[in-house]
Amino acid sequence: FLSAWDVSFSSGSGSNPFQHLEKSAVLQEARLFNETPINPRRCLHILTKILYLLNQGEHFGTTEATEAFFAMTRLFQSNDQTLRRMCYLTIKEMANISEDVIIVTSSLTKDMTGKEDVYRGPAIRALCRITDGTMLQGIERYMKQAIVDKVPSVSSSALVSSLHMMKISYDVVKRWINEAQEAASSDNIMVQYHALGLLYHLRKNDRLAVSKMLNKFTKSGLKSQFAYCMLIRIASKLLKESEEGHESPLFDFIESCLRNKHEMVIYEAASAIIHLPNCTARELAPAVSVLQLFCSSPKPVLRYAAVRTLNKVAMKHPSAVTACNLDLENLITDSNRSIATLAITTLLKTGSESSVDRLMKQISSFVSEISDEFKVWHWRPLLFPAAGFSPVLGAFWVFFFTKLFLFQSQALQHPGTKLFHAGPENPPPDFLSLLHGFNQSRGHLELET
């Protein structure tokens, strides 16, 4: 397998070594699992082929899947770590198409409670995948122990698996709530995050219990930035459902997260405030301020997140974003075209009459740098939001017509015509004059109707 991959890679062909796999041939190869001694390298290659076919949507009949599954169980006799972990993946993928998958329960339970930490987490995930409601109580003791295990990977595996098993038997998993609370005080950021997620889903139908959980964690604090983000989302959901509004301690908590040391927590808090109903410009100000700082971040993902969120704010509260106009103008020349497009869209909602000329010059350079096939794609989100701001609207439509529609490009003619049907209801005289001249020379009479 590796030699075939190396040859295709070095030749530059980029061919897929699994491209011409046939299911029947792979299942025939799976008989190798029954040989003694076990060849880990060859068996690993065959399991990879089986997983590839499954993920490509290849249909496996129940009988052939069960035969391959039973043959694969013999590989647990090998101590090869990579082969064992591949067995766990295969069990998870074939659990729903094979019969009598519980045959591996004892092997998985042994790995789950063994001393090899590298096996324990994956074994828990595989075991929970094949467990049904009748078997769940049999592994309950092991799951409780795994949730509070000192090894983070084991604890996280147990917590996430518990979340999935709630669909099978909510009442059984609910009995593990004390262990989940203990895991929520872990120093590991992922364990704390997964524990908080499990606690919330166990209590989400009880508003009072969720409120108590929020009060507990907002006062004691968290070490995981992921858990903070989840807590912000839970608090935001409760705020939207309650009548307390912005006088609630939950709003104060979300606002305090704007000063968190983690950027993802800051953004999550800003996004939560912005999406709260009935927010005034004054209440939005702290969130807009941190988004303004993100606009000048060296990280493209932060710039994109900031300008995208400011764009949403500008739809309802354009005056709240006016202070960010200078930062948004700087983003028009951003190397990321998505960021530049969003910046222009936002400026068209928040700009003033005095800034129209400068804005149009900057947009002109932006248009000249992108290819024809992307021009309409970029302009579509710009045209429609512009309809709400009259000082910029007139100048922008004239600009669009002269700079974009007059390009000698067939790629733009038909889409551009469609866009004009969504044009301003009261177009400026300059726009009508240009449109009339263009129609006479090009024959696009449908634009005048």
**Domain ranges in the chain?**
1-99, 207-279
pLDDT at 422 over 70: no
pLDDT at 4 over 90: no
Min mean pLDDT across 94-103, 341-350, 355-364, 376-385 is at 376-385
Q: How many CB atoms are closer than 10 A to CB 40?
A: 17
pLDDT above 70 as % of the chain = 75
Residues 6+ apart with CB under 8 A from 210: 200, 203, 204, 234, 238
Q: What is the pLDDT of residue 237?
A: 92
pLDDT per position as a tens digit, 283-321: 899 999 999 999 999 999 999 999 999 999 988 888 888
68 and 53 Cβ atoms separated by less than 8 Å: no
How far apart CA 436 and CA 268 sit, in angstroms, is: 49
Q: How many CB atoms are closer than 10 A to CB 401?
A: 20
Give ∠ CA 125-128-131 in degrees, rounded to 5.
Answer: 155
How does residue 342 score in pLDDT terms, banded at 50, 70 and 90? confident
Nearest to 343 by CA among 356, 358, 332, 355: 332
How does residue 442 score in pLDDT terms, banded at 50, 70 and 90? low
How does residue 14 score in pLDDT terms, banded at 50, 70 and 90? low
Q: How many residues does the chain have?
A: 449
How far apart CA 112 and CA 104 sit, in angstroms, is: 12
423 and 397 Cβ atoms separated by less than 8 Å: yes
Q: How does the average pLDDT of the chain come out, rounded?
A: 81
More confident position, 47 or 383 = 47
More confident position, 72 or 374 = 72
Report CA torsion sign: 14, 15, 18, 23. positive
178, amino acid identity: N
Q: How many CB atoms are closer than 10 A to CB 136?
A: 17
More confident position, 365 or 174 = 174
Q: What is the pLDDT of residue 347?
A: 84
Q: What is the pLDDT of residue 425?
A: 54
How does residue 226 score in pLDDT terms, banded at 50, 70 and 90? very high
How far apart CA 342 and CA 311 sit, in angstroms, is: 7
pLDDT at 148 over 90: yes
Structure tokens belonging to residue 347: 């400026």
Q: What is the pLDDT of residue 10?
A: 47
Nearest to 363 by CA among 386, 344, 390, 383: 344
Q: What is the pLDDT of residue 337?
A: 83
More confident position, 177 or 319 = 177
Q: What is the pLDDT of residue 397?
A: 57
More confident position, 204 or 242 = 204
Q: For residues 169-185, give the mean pLDDT.
A: 93
pLDDT above 90 as % of the chain = 40
The answer to whether the predicted template modeling score (pTM) of the entire model surpasses 0.75 is yes
Q: What HEC string does the chain produce?
A: CHHHHHHHHHHCCCCCCCCCCCHHHHHHHHHHHHCCCCCHHHHHHHHHHHHHHHHCCCCCCHHHHHHHHHHHHHHHHCCCHHHHHHHHHHHHHHCCCCCCHHHHHHHHHHHHCCCCHHHHHHHHHHHHHHCCHHHHHHHHHHHHHHHCCCCHHHHHHHHHHHHHHCCCCHHHHHCCHHHHHHHCCCCCHHHHHHHHHHHHHHHCCCHHHHHHHHHHHHHHCCCCHHHHHHHHHHHHHHHHHCCCHHHCHHHHHHHHHHHCCCHHHHHHHHHHHHCCCCCCHHHHHHHHHHHHHHCCCCCHHHHHHHHHHHHHHHHHCHHHHHHHHHHHHHHHHCCCHHHHHHHHHHHHHHCCHHHHHHHHHHHHHHHHCCCHHHHHHHHHHHHHHHCCCHHHHHHHHHHHHHHHHCCCCHHHHHHHHHHHCCCCCCCCHHHHHHHHHHHHHHCCHHHHC
Q: What is the pLDDT of residue 181?
A: 94
**Roughly how many angstroms between the first and final C-alpha of the chain, as a whole number?**
65
Structure tokens belonging to residue 43: 């068996």
**Domain 1-99 bears CATH identifier 1.25.10.10:** yes
More confident position, 27 or 371 = 27
- Rounded to 10 degrees, the C-alpha dihedral 244/248/253/255 comes to 80
Q: What is the pLDDT of residue 8?
A: 47
pLDDT at 9 over 60: no
Q: What is the pLDDT of residue 2?
A: 45
Q: What is the pLDDT of residue 310?
A: 94
